[in-house]
């Protein structure tokens, strides 16, 4: 518990007064048509997806809705973003539950990140560990740092 709290405090300090970006969770139904089309393509399998809508808006779609029988369901409990020079870091907490029918848990999430700056690199961290996006759609100029 102390580890998680420390991580949250560190992320808040890193993003504290940074006005170069903002982020929020949005409903899939409230996304624009292009983003909804991207989600329709991506939601057929679990994974981590990035969609770039122009040069300064991006969407992170995390899908864990499909559960293999006998395994715990994956859900997402926290999302945060920090920036360091030309790198944007995306942090997600992923947790597990054996109650597949718990409607309060987020098995699919969509976040919109609005940026002022243009970032050359986007890193994804799940539970503090670096991972890659499964697929990236949109702006071809993006460089993704793969771990």
What confidence score (pLDDT) does residue 56 get? 75
d(CA 11, CA 5): 10
What confidence score (pLDDT) does residue 5 get? 45
pLDDT (tens, 9 = 90+) of the chain, 147 residues, equals 545 544 454 454 444 445 578 999 999 898 888 888 889 989 899 999 999 987 678 999 999 888 888 888 888 889 999 998 889 999 999 988 887 777 788 889 999 999 888 888 999 999 999 999 999 888 544 445 444
Ranges of each domain in the chain: 2-144
63 contacts 51 by C-beta, under 8 angstroms: no
Spatial CA neighbour of 115 closest among 64, 65, 61, 54: 54
| Structure letter (DSSP) for residue 74 | E
91 contacts 81 by C-beta, under 8 angstroms: yes
- pTM confidence score: 0.78
Sheet strands (E) in the chain = 21-25, 47-53, 57-63, 73-84, 87-97, 108-115, 121-126, 129-131, 135-137, 143-144
73 contacts 103 by C-beta, under 8 angstroms: no
| Structure letter (DSSP) for residue 72 | P
d(CA 95, CA 127): 9
User: Can you read off the two tokens belonging to residue 85?
Assistant: 């020079």
């Amino acid at each position: 518990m102390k580890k998680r709290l420390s991580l949250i405090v560190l992320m808040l300090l890193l993003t504290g007064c940074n006005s170069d970006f903002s982020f929020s969770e949005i409903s899939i139904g409230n996304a624009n048509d292009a983003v909804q089309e991207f989600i329709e393509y991506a939601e057929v399998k679990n994974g981590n997806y990035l969609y770039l809508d122009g040069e300064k808006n991006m969407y992170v779609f995390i899908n864990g809705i499909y559960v293999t029988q006998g395994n715990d369901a994956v859900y997402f409990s926290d999302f945060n973003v920090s920036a360091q020079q030309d790198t944007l870091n995306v942090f997600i907490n992923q947790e597990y539950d054996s109650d597949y029918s718990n409607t309060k848990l987020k098995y699919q999430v969509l976040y919109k990140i609005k940026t002022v700056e243009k970032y050359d690199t986007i890193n994804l961290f799940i539970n503090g560990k670096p991972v890659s996006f499964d697929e990236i759609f949109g702006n071809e100029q993006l460089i993704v740092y793969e771990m």
